[in-house]
Amino acid sequence: MKVIKTIFKIIMILIVVFLATGLLIKETSYITEIKINKPVSEVFKTFNDTSKINNWMPEVTSFIEVDARPGIVGSVYKIILKNEEELIEMTEKVLAYIPNKKATFSFNIDDMLKIDDYNFRMQDSITVITKNTIYKSDAYLMQCMFPYFKKMFMDEDQKYLDNFKAYIEKQ
């Protein structure tokens, strides 16, 4: 009986810690970065060419323009990803766009909001892309989970930046 009570107490503590995470941490953020041996103008142009996105993000099955805005900011796109055998639909909105300097996007997937803020700069004839990422959710349980998945999110974003580097440096 003592063992059962101890196990129950441990489970209850874990549940309380998990649920407290959502109260204490409202968003999960991190930074990833890559250096590319190409000029910033070429890197920025290729990075924002949606017809080439499959070269570094092979999960993207379609990229559809929903609402193109003059000056790009405010434009909305529908992106379909294939995750194993499941198709995932997300909406992308362009929040900021400064040629050769910055591109910021928001992605809505069900109850999740992801903001990717890419900054481009030259450093000793090398282009550096710094990506600031924020995950948020209005769904409380989802908000509780994000901090526990932060490393997985970072690894996936870094993988895409590495894929982009490999793709553009081959050209």
pLDDT band at 110 (very low <50, low <70, confident <90, very high): confident
* Domains of the chain, CATH where assigned: 2-58+91-170 (3.30.530.20)
pLDDT tens digits, residue range 126-166? 999 999 999 999 898 888 999 999 999 999 999 999 999 99
User: Which position has the higher pLDDT, 112 or 21?
Assistant: 112
User: What pTM was estimated for this model as a whole?
Assistant: 0.90
Backbone angles phi, psi at 147, to 5 degrees: -60, -30
pLDDT tens digits, residue range 40-57? 999 999 999 989 999 999
Reading the block at residue 149, the tokens are 């998945």
